Amino acid sequence: MTSRLQVTEIERVRESLHAAHSVFVLTGAGVSAESGVPTFRGGGNAAVWKGMPFYEISSAGMVERDLPEVWAWFDYRLGVLSDLKPNPAHKTLARWQDKFSSFTLATQNIDGLHQAAGSRDVYELHGNVWTARCIECDARSDVRRLGAARPPVCLDCRNPMRPDVVLFGEMLPVGVFDRAVDAARTAEVCFVVGTSALVYPAASLPEVAKRGGAFLVEVNPEKTPLTEYCDASLRGPAGELLPLLGFE
């Protein structure tokens, strides 16, 4: 049951959103979890793949040491994701992109569910699990169009390809974070949805927006380190709360 305090908070957010011309949204794992996407993190040093902890099999070093094994792990992940669908949070954000003079969606998720819901020009801060990238020429291809060979072979230069995601020990994609910073800096309203705001540098984006004068809104089932910094905090699943804000 939604409390009276929560209803009041929703109204405050709705008013700010409907008055805004520029909106910036940062999403995290919580949004995709509502579609059934697991985090794959075993917790601590728990072995999650053939005796290897998550941070090892998903590392830059592993790409250099055993690229076929990295692909075995990512093919498993793709199998888990293949039947999952966007939830109401993804769909609501896709509708929002046509309601404002300026709308930017940045995500820490790599599952492609925002695009599947219809979102365009998503700033994928950590890459996309459905894309392969050549280790030599940086050409990119949809994994689903590359056949069964592992590692896949680049269609341009015939060299091996790797998953086009940010692995442990790697920096964010060149340019993507800078564009997100620019969008956050000029936003009138900034939403932080389904993320604990702990993973930097992505977690700095709400801070940039707040310093720029944005009305900062958190949507999360639980309090996070960002909560006290926000102008409004909505407690609950994004798939239930975002549709309540309008533009449906």
Q: Which residues are catalytic?
A: 126
Residue type, 97: Q
Vertex 43 angle, CA 193 and 112, to 5°: 40
| Nearest partner of 88 among 118, 50, 110, judged by Cα | 118
- Lookup result for tokens 């700033």: 123
Owner of token pair 């990512």: 74
What is the chain's Cα-based Rg? 19
